Structure 1
Amino acid sequence: MNRLLTLIFGAALTAATTSGSMYAQTTTPTKPAEPQPSQSMQEMYDKLHGNTNKKPATQPTKSKTTTPPKSTTKPQTAQKSAPAPAPKAAAPAEEGGFKFKVGLRGGANYCNFSVPSSQTSSGVTLEPIIGYHGGLILSFGGKVFSVQPEILYSQVGLKSTTRQGGVTLSGESKINTVTVPVLLKFALGGESFKFFINGGGYGSYALNGKTKITLNQQTTTTDIKYEKGDPRIEYGAVGGAGISLGLGKAQLLIEGRYYYGLGNDDGDLDANEKNFVRNIQGSIGILIPIGGK
């Protein structure tokens, strides 16, 4: 049935095409548009010729709706202007400021004792000895004026010689003490170089010592031991001068100093019969500021 309909459809299509061409040859007016097969005719034709799997030549294209691309640019926020840095406060001058410094000093002693009046005519001769000292320095104050207490371990003593009846007796005593000078210091100069002078008082406390006695070329050594009630304390005046060299924040001190004993706690002797220290010190030290910028 379908094949018969297909043959009929093909004959009608051929006749229509032939009549159209004859009509086009006899008439000169405008050429009419050729008839186009309908969709149903085309399907019947395809089935007749075995083109049932053939897809239509053209397929309607689906219109794709495109979404506008998302903007990746972040909205710019107004940048806050950084506040201007506050001006730094000027560092206070050292003259008007208070500084605390700590340091060490050490050096040599050239020490002797005063000669009591009763011994000046007895043929006793006193000579100095070489000792040493060292300890802690503290300094409170400014660039020009400062107070400088110290705690030093210091060795003092003397040599004595007596000649009587052709016999010579010599002795040497060395006493180890803790000496505490408290000085008022006055300095002039810049940070790299200063000249200073100082002066004040001191107190010392005897710890122990040794005595060597030589008689007829025979030497005897005896330890000096202090017991309760023995005189051990001395006090006096001290002063000196020196220079200070800048080493960055630290100061190198080169100094000479003199200790002059004025009294002690020996109550058994009159003041004229007492011996007092006469000590010359030469030292090198260093001072470092603590807590300053």
Structure 2
Amino acid sequence: MIRKVITTALVCVLALGGIHAQDKFRQELSLGASFGTTFSKVSFAQTKVQQGMKMGYTGGLTIRWITEKNLGLQAEVNFVQQGWEEKFEEQPQYKYSRTINYIELPILTHIYFGSKRFRVFVNLGPKVGYAFGEKTDENLNGATPNTENTQHGMPLEKKFDWGLCGGPGFELRTGIGSFLLEGRYYYALGDIFNSRKEDYFSKSSSQVISAKLTYMIPIFK
């Protein structure tokens, strides 16, 4: 009788162990590519510049490592356009915008919830970038329709950009890979112009809203 009880107990333990092994979390490394749209402006102080949101584009490569259940790390290398576009309410025939092209590197914490097929996630973390080019689009021809125009003649003075970014998204996991739709907000902690006491602007930091679609393929699980 005792032998039967011990045997039954061992069978139950082995069965539970097998079920636990089947449900055990497996790490996942994925690689993907993204493309999307940006809407940006620059926060100027001590003088206010009337602006709308400037539209640009972004795209790049993403690598994601799911290290444990509901948590992972994500790194990206992206091309991104940001800058500002001014508004001339009293003289709408005029236009002025500055596009700054960056290579950026976000390092993000990836938090997700959901099923094996559909997930909701949030990415949060720091970002650094380097400006490698800028372009101005304007038709002012020397006119000064706004009170503040000093920034028009100022080239980009700080090429390194850094700050914090994050936002929510949705992921659809299929047999051919994962499709992710994500919104993100970036707040720069650095400035695009010098901001010492003797400089014209005390602040000139970027703010960017972006939306992008990413396709990812798991490399291993």
* Alignment deviations for residues 230-281 of structure 1 (CA, whole Å, 9 cap, x no partner): 4201111101001110111621101111011111485553596221111111
Number of the residue aligned with 1:58: none
1:185 aligns with 2:110: yes
**Aligned residues of 1:171 and 1:214 also touching (Cα < 8 A):** yes
SS in structure 2 opposite 1:114?
A: strand
Shift of 1:174: 0.5
**Aligned residues of 1:111 and 1:280 also touching (Cα < 8 A):** yes
1:245 aligns with 2:172: yes
Shift of 1:149: 0.7
> 1:112 is matched by which residue type in structure 2?
K
Q: Distance in 2 between matches of 1:265 and 1:172?
A: 15
**Aligned residues of 1:188 and 1:194 also touching (Cα < 8 A):** yes
State which of 231, 237, 248 in structure 1 corresponds to 2:158: 231
Number of the residue aligned with 1:25: none
* Alignment deviations for residues 159-204 of structure 1 (CA, whole Å, 9 cap, x no partner): 124699x9x9642101111011111011001111111112111011
1:151 aligns with 2:77: yes
State which of 84, 89, 98 in structure 2 corresponds to 1:173: 98
Aligned residues: 192
Aligned CA distance change for structure 1 residues 162 and 252 (closer, same or farther; 3 Å): closer
Shift of 1:128: 1.4
**Aligned residues of 1:179 and 1:204 also touching (Cα < 8 A):** yes
Shift of 1:113: 1.1
Residues 45-60 of structure 1 aligned to structure 2 (within 5 Å) = none
SS in structure 2 opposite 1:191?
A: coil
Shift of 1:115: 2.3
The structure that is strand-richer by fraction is 2
Q: Which runs of structure 1 show a deviation greater than 6 angstroms over 4 or more consecutive aligned residues?
A: none
Q: Distance in 1 between matches of 2:96 and 2:29?
A: 45
Q: Distance in 1 between matches of 2:41 and 2:113?
A: 32
**Aligned residues of 2:191 and 2:206 also touching (Cα < 8 A):** no
Aligned CA distance change for structure 1 residues 103 and 92 (closer, same or farther; 3 Å): farther
| Structure 1, unpaired ranges of 5+ | 1-88
Number of the residue aligned with 2:203: 274
Shift of 1:95: 6.4
Residues 82-93 of structure 1 aligned to structure 2 (within 5 Å) = none
| Structure 2, unpaired ranges of 5+ | 1-17, 144-151
Shift of 1:291: 2.9
Residues 186-205 of structure 1 aligned to structure 2 (within 5 Å) = 186-205=111-130
Q: Distance in 1 between matches of 2:52 and 2:196?
A: 22
Work out which of the two has the higher radius of gyration on C-alpha atoms and give 1 or 2.
1
SS in structure 1 opposite 2:139?
A: strand
**Aligned residues of 1:232 and 1:264 also touching (Cα < 8 A):** no
> 1:287 is matched by which residue type in structure 2?
M
Shift of 1:100: 1.3
Number of the residue aligned with 1:257: 184
Alignment TM-score, normalising by the size of structure 1: 0.57
Q: Distance in 2 between matches of 1:92 and 1:232?
A: 51
Q: Distance in 1 between matches of 2:218 and 2:205?
A: 36
Aligned CA distance change for structure 1 residues 119 and 92 (closer, same or farther; 3 Å): farther
Aligned Cα RMSD in Å? 3.3
* Alignment deviations for residues 10-46 of structure 1 (CA, whole Å, 9 cap, x no partner): xxxxxxxxxxxxxxxxxxxxxxxxxxxxxxxxxxxxx
> 2:137 is matched by which residue type in structure 1?
K
The share of aligned pairs that are identical, in percent, is: 26
**Aligned residues of 1:163 and 1:169 also touching (Cα < 8 A):** no
> 2:85 is matched by which residue type in structure 1?
K
Shift of 1:94: 7.9
